[in-house]
Structure 1
Amino acid sequence: MSSSDEETLSERSCRSERSCRSERSYRSERSGSLSPCPPGDTLPWNLPLHEQKKRKSQDSVLDPAERAVVRVADERDRVQKKTFTKWVNKHLMKVRKHINDLYEDLRDGHNLISLLEVLSGIKLPREKGRMRFHRLQNVQIALDFLKRRQVKLVNIRNDDITDGNPKLTLGLIWTIILHFQISDIYISGESGDMSAKEKLLLWTQKVTAGYTGIKCTNFSSCWSDGKMFNALIHRYR
């Protein structure tokens, strides 16, 4: 067989293989056997219908930029959960209690009530049963107590906490921190009519005074380079 005949056979073989791969890919698309979307992918609620159909036919419903945003949000929630869990345990240890999972261990309302009792010094009633009804009642007792103290709870219901809703559980604990921890910050010579956020900002300014090149005027851009956070850690190390 001549070299030209060998090249012809080789070319035919390559074309045949490419044809087979294309056919397999086509059949795969027709049968819907595409690889599943990456775990955690969610379709943006405000995406146009034609774009939704296009995304669903691809490997992922999120584009790279959206996936990056999701990853950042997940990391932020993870850090908040860890930080809030430590804060809760710092107070629960006074009554010899401890939680491991912020979302799970507040669901029955008992630890939530105990936390509020420690922070306020007030004894609260509680249901002793273990049914869902009792859990909802205990969480409601905690929420009602906060409302009586003029704590603003935005879209947080007892079933949100009982069901272990991550976002709203984090929101509830942050609201409690704002009320019991930050609102109690006393700054000598300053007005007592300041909001919790204003007090926190002023406190941050005072404790970081003296650090070269650091001035806190807000809770966004002033913290973006990490210097403000490092100054606080250095101040209380």
Structure 2
Amino acid sequence: MQSIIKIESLSKKYKNADQYSLNNVSLEINAGEIFGLLGPNGAGKTTLISMLCGLIKPTSGHFTIDDLNYTNDALKIKKIIGVVPQEYALYPTLTARENLHYFGSMYGLKSNDLKEKVIEALNLLGLLKFADKRIDTFSGGMKRRINLIAGILHNPKVLFLDEPTVGVDVQSKNAIIDYLKALNQNGTTIIYTSHHLAEAEDFCTNIAILDRGKIFAQGTPSNLIDSTKEARNLEEVFISLTGKDFRDEL
């Protein structure tokens, strides 16, 4: 399979920090994968995704997305990626439809095409009847689904997801996962972070486990389980590699 993301010796040390948040990480992600970046708090997941999305600059190393270099092709990269953050990136006093039309127009989608895409996505995620209701009246699961739609209206080649099902009911979780699987089947490569390890075990085709800024293991969920002594599931692999210590930070 062809690599769509290539990361070489990527490191990040924040100003006044004592240690690297990401330390000499190299990784290749193939086109069409659902790739899980898993790790405890402070492992470096958010730092890595933030660099890949162009939000922060690496201290050293480099990466390409679809053969585009972030130093020369930052604007081109932004056009082919979608980002769904953990925090809701929505305007609470606007309706669902108004929010989605706003974000879709930012990606350059034309009016008629955008209108059709918004209706189709709202319908698939069970929200069409709430299209003209204000976001601040929505439940957490409904907001999470709108947050997802906002990041995929432009049909990105690569979609970055940060905890896409956190804090939602079972029905919303299932709807989100099914929708993401359909996107993946249609060619979108997905980069996914979550603390729901059972979900990741079922959802991801490949996984990298990060801790303290480094990759400790990489492989398919089944291969990681099989290669870890006495592990019966991905959570036990995770604990075996990262330990049981708390990761509280200020």
TM-score (structure 1 length as normaliser): 0.24
The structure where strand makes up a greater share of residues is 2
The structure where helix makes up a greater share of residues is 1
Larger-Rg structure: 1
TM-score (structure 2 length as normaliser): 0.23
